[in-house]
Amino acid sequence: MSSSLTAQAEKKLQAPPWFWWAAWVCVLSGIIVMGFLIIYQIDERLSLYDQILELRVQQDDALEELESLKIERGSERSYERVVDIAVNELQMQFPNKVEVTGSETIE
């Protein structure tokens, strides 16, 4: 009687073959889906990295333009300063209209 109880217990513990096939299909499907998700994430990260590099190039270009504009603004201010000193401190007068004669050449 004890042998028949253990035989029944063993039969109850064993799963049918279709269950194992279904389990393997689920595991393999999960692995494949995870692989595709990882590939998608890698592609997304690479596109973000490319965008960051493009933005850095744009930032460098903008900084170069800013530096040139600062230099230009500084030269304009220095010219204005020279004109202010000439007019206010040295009492210089600048002509309103300049005419070019035929013998003079302007380069």
pLDDT at 106 > cutoff 60: no
- Whether residue 95 is contained in a domain is answered as no
- Whether residue 29 is contained in a domain is answered as yes
- Provide the pLDDT for residue 8: 63
- Whether residue 79 is contained in a domain is answered as yes
28 — pLDDT class (breaks 50, 70, 90): very high
Residue 56 lies in domain: 15-89
The three-state DSSP-derived secondary structure of the chain is CHHHHHHHHHHHHCCCHHHHHHHHHHHHHHHHHHHHHHHHHHHHHHHHHHHHHHHHHHHHHHHHHHHHHHHHHHHHHHHHHHHHHHHHHCCCCCCCCCCCCCCCCCC
- Whether residue 96 is contained in a domain is answered as no
pTM of the model: 0.48
- Whether residue 10 is contained in a domain is answered as no
- Provide the pLDDT for residue 11: 59
- Whether residue 106 is contained in a domain is answered as no
- Whether residue 76 is contained in a domain is answered as yes
- Whether residue 104 is contained in a domain is answered as no
Please count the structural domains in the chain. Answer: 1
